[in-house]
Amino acid sequence: MIVLAGDPYEKEREAMVENQIAARGICDRNVLDAMRKVPRHLFVPAGFEGAAYRDHPLPIGHGQTISQPYIVALMTELLSVSPGDRVLEVGAGSGYQAAILVTLGAEVFSIERIPEVARIAEENLRRAGIPDVHVIVGDGTLGYPKGAPYQGIIVTAAAPAVPGPLVDQLAEGGRLVAPVGGRDVQELVRLEKRGGEITRTSYGGVVFVPLVGEHGWEG
Ligand code: SAM
């Protein structure tokens, strides 16, 4: 990752971590450190840098968004990433979530439905000095069998139900985090695969753009 000398947003990033993330109960030190390191202002469109560390999502073009910092932190904590884990992200968007996962030591496969958005993710990751994410254009509701099985799968768009192919591509002991429910509001769920059995836990209401695809919503 590029370490920015005299980074003008360092103080804002620290305030984001303390006031929006740690203050709301995120306590995994590795997640907090990753959020401190990744320059989020390089993952928003030109002209929005000043808003990059605020407590809400931002538009990234093509009707899509970069998620609220707290939600990125919460989903990352729930994913319980260890260095060397293979992680599939469905919905590359800006590339920011992928950058956080790489900073935690994961090998990241990030799949994006909209080719222009995938290009934005690649460009943002390159600018931030994080070139080693596998960005793939495709329907992430089908997963990405070439990289399976995954210790972690994170879905960053709202699904009517957890897509079956993603559960199939989860490794033994693997975790899957996704917003699941209606088109307007969803609940954040965490699935864990143990001995072939799936346990499911809910973590409250969230709002995401729709997951569009064969095992998602119609476009
Ligand atoms: N994780 C992203 C970030 O860090 O900026 C935010 C993702 S944005 C909230 C959701 C993304 O999911 C959009 O870019 C959208 O195009 C993508 N998406 C929706 N349906 C998809 C699908 N079936 N496969 C892959 N990507 C999909």
Residue-wise pLDDT for 165-182, tens only, equals: 999 999 999 999 999 999
DSSP state of 2: P
- Residue 3's pLDDT band, with cuts at 50, 70 and 90, is low
CA angle 100/74/94 to nearest 5° reads: 40
- The answer on pLDDT for 187 being more than 80 is yes
| The predicted structure's pLDDT at residue 7 | 87
Q: How many residues does the chain have?
A: 219
> How confident is the model over 28-50, as pLDDT tens digits?
999 999 999 999 999 999 999 99
Is the domain 10-206 a CATH 2.40.10.10 member?
A: no
The model scores a pTM over 0.95:
yes
If one residue of 68, 113, 124 were mutated to test the ligand 1 pocket, choosing by the most ligand atoms within 8 A of its CB, it would be 113
Please give the number of the atom of ligand 1 that sits closest to the Cα of 213: 23
Q: Whose CA is nearest to atom 9 of ligand 1?
A: 65
Please give the average per-residue pLDDT across 155-174, as a whole number.
98
Please give the number of the atom of ligand 1 that sits closest to the Cα of 114: 16
In whole angstroms, give the CA distance from residue 88 to residue 26: 22
**Ligand 1 pocket residues where CB is under 6 Å:** 64-67, 90-91, 93-94, 96-97, 111-114, 117, 139-141, 156-157, 208-209, 211-213, 216
**Could you tell me the residue ranges of all domains in the chain?**
10-206
Q: Whose CA is nearest to atom 24 of ligand 1?
A: 140
> How confident is the model over 124-153, as pLDDT tens digits?
999 999 979 999 999 999 999 999 999 999
| Ligand 1 centroid from CA 215, angstroms | 14
Residues belonging to the active site? 67
| Ligand 1 centroid from CA 95, angstroms | 10
- Residue 4's pLDDT band, with cuts at 50, 70 and 90, is low
Side-by-side strand order, sheet with 150-155: 134-137, 107-112, 86-90, 150-155, 170-181, 186-194, 197-206
Phi first, then psi, for residue 178 (nearest 5°) are: -155, 150
